[in-house]
Amino acid sequence: MFQRAVSDARRACLWRGAGQGARAFESRCAEPLSWLLDVLEARRQRATFFCLGVFAESHPRLIKQIARRGHEVACHGHEHRSVKEMDPGRFRDDVLRASDAIVGACGQVPVGYRAPGFSLGPGDRRHHEVLRDLGFRYDSSVFPVALAGPDHARAARLPWGICPGLWELPVAVAGWGPVRLPLGGVFFRALPYRATAMALSSMNKDKTPAMLYFHPWEFDDGQPRLAGIGPVDRVRQYWGLAASRDKFARLCAGFRFMAAVDALDLLA
């Protein structure tokens, strides 16, 4: 029985305004990322950081710091481009480019992959075979709720073998009969901490592993509040930021986590 703590070090930390490029704003990654690493270290927790290739190229010192402090560095693609926009050949090039950037930044060869926007579905065998052929050991792109799409909604909540040598580690979703409750990201920020803790405890009793996900920007309450974005994006970006650090610290104090690559040994 295990949980797995996961964070995306991604380009979303470069704040984007309506009609403006991400690099029009300062990078605010360093402070919340350092805070995350300090909390994990204080509680002797090990996590997986899914990193973009462009982030590894622009912030190699931060990627090196993640690896130096004992965490797994995994691949999140190169430029946060949807897998649905890429045929297997272009997908292979994108993954290789991101992996090379990660290796160049910290020396760690990624064996885990998460698609931007959970855009790699559970039945997309051609892209999964690309990952396997490139030496990846697991994918964590499936979010088994209706919000991620009908193919995701029908997916299992437990890890499964996609093809020989490649596991799927789906994102944590608590389940009570037909009801499925997402636990990471904005859902972690929006839900009371007690609801998340109760869901994880219930999953523990059922021996269901929990792959939680977070972004460094979700722990930066000082980020700019931008005009010109819709209500859905506003909720997703800003809801619950003021309490997110306290909630995450409580989570690390109350539950034990491991890196996704370490969890594979428990599945074999």
pLDDT in tens, 49-108: 999 999 999 999 999 999 999 999 999 999 999 999 999 999 999 999 999 999 999 999
pLDDT, position 193: 96
Domains observed in the chain: 3-12+27-263 (3.20.20.370)
Rounded CA separation 210/163 (Å): 22
pLDDT tens digits, residue range 178-197? 788 899 999 999 999 999 99
What is the pLDDT averaged over residues 24-42? 89
Q: Please state at what angle helix 125-133 crosses helix 88-106, rounded to 10 degrees.
A: 40
Residue written as token pair 């991101």: 98
Q: pLDDT tens-digit profile of 135-188?
A: 999 999 999 998 888 889 889 999 999 999 999 999 999 887 778 889 999 999
CA 17, CA 19: separation in Å to the nearest integer? Answer: 6
Residues above pLDDT 70, as percent of the chain: 90
